[in-house]
Structure 1
């Protein structure tokens, strides 16, 4: 990925007014209104899928068919994560108290530290794809820009040479990474409700592992763990990768106004209602970033308003198919690793 920005022609209006006018159009259309009926049904369905998965796990018992249950539960865990995402953005409940309670319950169901994730995700929304400010593009195993590639050492440098080819295989570790990062965050004394978060997190680990090794023999339990967590990671990565990866990266003081900062670094994914369900509405990433508290079923309705507004301003608005979005992600990763490939790896 080349570190660059895309700037449209300067607007004759003040930057803040561009978003203010769009916000008024969205509000006038009633798209910021709560959708309690929708979320009541969605949460009930997701909870039922989650419970059905664990009932099936017990009923199938020590049979290799349990790996099919593992795949089903990976999907259920991903849907719970998407509900937690909407809850964290106060799309479900207006007040902080109910939002945090529901978010912690959802996080506990999948082994995710809600407070840690909410802080990380809030910083991402404030400065998407800004190197140094967006934690989602901080260099770790992968490098997201050529500057990061030049500074990479050790394993990231080794992986960076072929990271586009390794991206999807590495996603099998994303579920485990979610758990490890949540646990590591507990060492941060500034984390709110640290004791509660730790109790919920390790309570999940204890119940999850006890169930696996109580119901299944050792080898089968390990296989279930690998399939379940591996597919959970792939599902999460497949949801979130198309949103920003391969899009322009901002650096230093390069911070456009709010509307351009969100639109220019985000990518929408075309699709129907099935795509909305599987990606939790995050296929409408541009609209979500502009209006994070908008209920996800309203994002599709907001899209033509946002697109038309961007066209009037001359702000590029990117929407692709799902496969094309993955191609762009992988192409961005390949470009980012170019400096590593152009130099010899030290012996």
Structure 2
């Protein structure tokens, strides 16, 4: 039987790979957990999990700086050699780790005051990574407020990849061809995400008519970063090798960034624009944790604890694993689904989900009801 409007709009199983993908409508009911967030926050505060961890971040920053120094030294010593592409890959990894730090500074996890964290995040994002902090912060703040909510979460808006059936159905031309196989193309396309992030940030800074705090400073930082990072590459390496170096660095950066953020929400429930959810349910139901402990935390910059990160955005990375135990107990007591998978399983879920959404682009003349029935 076809789903009816007003209840669950879609309910399509992701085979054995993960949870059911649902779109919640405003008439859905949820567990009485309105006070859950207040209670779990109080426990986290009493156990000291909301305290800053400056020494931890000092060590992480030092490790990244030493890695950068090693990569620069290797670049100078190798000279005109195709082994420079290994250095380029190393820079891609190190810059992603720097981006994780910028993300945590933006969430007030590192320093004691908001303005100090903002300054650090802007320096790391624009001056080290080369991405506009103002653009990213606005986008990311909207995502945190309404994860996976239709019309409010910018992370599920169409951008080559379609995350919603209706967006996939409207795809035409080249985008339609991509959408039809977007699950399989997702990770190859991430190699272009580094270029996309730099481009969108610069576009925002240069052409947006809205008032942007720190616009001039960010432009200056990005230009300075370009002169320090890119100019030496093209001065010291043959032209073809220099382009290959930048291509590898950007590809590794984009793939690493995308592969770290993709498991967090893709394939989790999509929330209707008019749905009413309490904060605790909204954040837990739309987020997915990645198992793996300390190695996953280092690999993903703490994003493996996505549920806890969304509940406590200002919680420092070292405290997330302890918060996980508290949140899991509350979810079990309140019968709120708590999703946790392996990294490989999460990628399989993402690919399956995107391919299923991409079916909507198979034939633009299909009857929508028939297409929905076919996908179900």
Same fold (TM > 0.5): yes
When the two structures are aligned, how many residues end up with a matched partner?
343
In the alignment, the residues of structure 1 paired with residue 280 and residue 38 of structure 2 have an alpha-carbon distance, to the nearest angstrom, of: 9
1:325 is paired with a residue of what secondary structure?
A: helix
Deviations, residues 133-162 of structure 1 (Å, cap 9, x unaligned) = 111111110100101112223332221011
1:9 and 1:314 in contact (8 A); partners too:
no
Q: Name which of 160, 181, 203 aligns with 2:200.
A: 181
The SS at the match of 1:59 is: helix
Q: Where does structure 1 lack aligned partners over 5 or more consecutive residues?
A: none
Structure 1 contact 144–333 (Cα < 8 Å) conserved: yes
- Give, in whole Å, the separation in 1 of the partners of 2:153 and 2:337: 21
- Tell me, yes or no, if structure 1 residue 30 matches structure 2 residue 48: yes
Corresponding residue number in structure 2 for 1:135: 154
Counterpart contact for 2:96–2:253, Cα < 8 Å: yes
What's the counterpart of residue 163 of structure 2? 144
Q: After alignment, is 81-90 or 99-108 more displaced?
A: 99-108
The CA deviation at 1:11 is 3.5
Secondary structure of 2:270's partner? Answer: coil
Structure 2 counterpart SS, 1:337:
helix
Match of 2:218 in 1: 197
CA contact (8 A) 1:140 1:156 kept: no
Q: Give the drift of 1:27.
A: 1.1
Distance 2:214 2:122 in 1: 11
1:60 aligns with 2:74: no
- Residue number among 248, 259, 277 corresponding to 1:256 in the alignment: 277
| Equivalent residue for 1:276, pick from 278, 297, 308 | 297
1:252-287: CA deviation from partner (whole Å, max 9, x where unpaired)? 211411111100110000002111101111100000
Q: Which residue of 1 aligns with 2:99?
A: 81
Number of the residue aligned with 2:251:
230
Matches within 5 A, 1:1-347: 4-5=23-24, 10-12=30-32, 15=34, 17-107=35-125, 108-186=127-205, 187-188=207-208, 189-343=210-364
SS at match of 1:4: strand
Distance in 1 separating the partners of 2:64 and 2:235? 25
Deviations 1:4-36 (A, max 9, x none): 1399974346x1x11111111111111001112
Could you tell me how far apart the structure 1 residues matched to 2:175 and 2:158 are?
A: 8
Change (3 A) 1:208 1:344: farther
CA gap of 1:72–1:225, structure 2 versus 1, over 3 A, is same
The answer (yes or no) to whether the contact 2:162–2:358 under 8 Å persists in 1 is yes
| Aligned-residue offset at 1:66 | 0.4
**Structure 2 vs 1, CA of residues 152 and 251 (structure 1 numbering), >3 Å: closer, same or farther?**
farther
CA contact (8 A) 1:141 1:155 kept: no
Deviations 1:305-333 (A, max 9, x none): 10010111110000000100001111110
1:72-100 CA distance string (max 9 Å, x none): 11110110000101100000013122112
Q: Please, what TM-score do these two structures have when normalized by structure 1?
A: 0.94
Backbone CA RMSD of aligned residues: 1.8
Cα distance in 2 for partners of 1:293, 1:268 equals 17
